[in-house]
């Protein structure tokens, strides 16, 4: 924690306890790098500053605003979650919300509702496995940053680590993790191209991509035409 007080990243969602703002950040961060998320998170909250404001928007608006962040199903899930919260309030069991799994529920519970629960992402898991230590919820943000900037996946910067002297993995090197398949030329890219076309009012000809998008609730297919959900 002393290390974090001097080295923690200055991230805007760390300055709020608003559960809606934190949910938006966590959903955006699920598959997107921090640097890309920061301006998009700010733009999203400027457009829809409250959960009620997002719930009043259409799924189509949310999908269009999400463009460029990837994995567009997250926009639909976030809109559905906002609609539920606006109607019923925040559930005690946060995994009841669409798109919220155990990790996101733990992060939201900790950062918004003050619960002593540790959200374990890849970075936190790596630090725990290498050190053999257990941590409580108060260490979450410090562990995020330690894993992201010091305890790196392949070549950790042990000389800069506050846990170096008691870490049994000190000085080790690790095999690279399996990389995600390339986006260029993939079916994911075809889906993205098709969704951008529909959002622009065009009719793409990639039928397989459109069927996949419709299955995820990102487009509506009717009489041979594709539109965004109203």
Q: What structural domains does the chain harbor?
A: 2-111 (1.10.340.30), 122-166 (no CATH), 187-227 (no CATH)
The residues that bridge with 222 in the sheet, in sequence order, are: 225
Q: What are the pLDDT digits (tens) for 37-60?
A: 999 999 999 999 999 999 999 999
Neighbours of 31 (CB within 10 A): 13
Q: What are the pLDDT digits (tens) for 54-111?
A: 999 999 999 999 999 989 999 999 999 999 999 999 999 999 999 999 999 999 999 9
Q: What is the value of pTM for the model shown?
A: 0.87
Half-sphere exposure of 189 (CA within 13 A, CB side): 6
The confidence band for 188, taking pLDDT boundaries of 50, 70 and 90, is confident
Four-point Cα dihedral 218, 88, 106, 12, nearest 10: 70
- Quick one: pLDDT at residue 91? 97
- Give the range among 36-45, 107-116, 185-194 with minimum mean pLDDT: 185-194
Active site residue 26: yes
* Interval 130-144 mean pLDDT: 95
Positive or negative, the CA dihedral 52, 57, 59, 61 is negative
Instruction: Report how far residue 130's alpha carbon sits from residue 62's, in angstroms, rounded to the nearest whole number.
Output: 40
């Amino acid at each position: 924690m002393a290390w974090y007080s001097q080295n923690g990243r200055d991230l805007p969602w760390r300055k709020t306890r608003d559960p809606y703002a934190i949910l938006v950040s966590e959903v955006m961060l699920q598959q997107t790098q921090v640097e890309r998320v920061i301006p998009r998170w700010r733009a999203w909250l400027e457009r829809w500053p409250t959960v009620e404001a997002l719930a009043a928007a259409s799924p189509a608006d949310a999908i269009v605003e999400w463009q460029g962040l990837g994995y567009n199903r997250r926009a639909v899930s976030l809109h559905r979650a906002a609609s539920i919260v606006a109607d019923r309030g925040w559930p005690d069991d946060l995994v009841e919300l669409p798109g919220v799994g155990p990790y996101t529920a733990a992060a939201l519970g900790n950062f918004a509702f003050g619960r002593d629960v540790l959200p374990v992402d890849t970075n936190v898991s790596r630090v725990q496995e290498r050190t053999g230590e257990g941590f409580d919820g108060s260490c979450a943000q410090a562990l995020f940053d330690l894993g992201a900037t010091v305890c790196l996946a392949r070549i950790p910067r042990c000389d800069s680590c506050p846990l170096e002297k008691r870490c049994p993995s000190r000085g080790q090197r690790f095999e690279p993790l399996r990389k995600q398949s390339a986006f260029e030329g993939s079916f994911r890219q075809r889906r993205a191209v098709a969704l951008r076309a529909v959002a622009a009012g065009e009719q793409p000809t990639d039928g397989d991509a459109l069927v996949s998008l419709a299955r995820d609730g990102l487009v509506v297919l009717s009489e041979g035409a594709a539109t965004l959900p109203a």
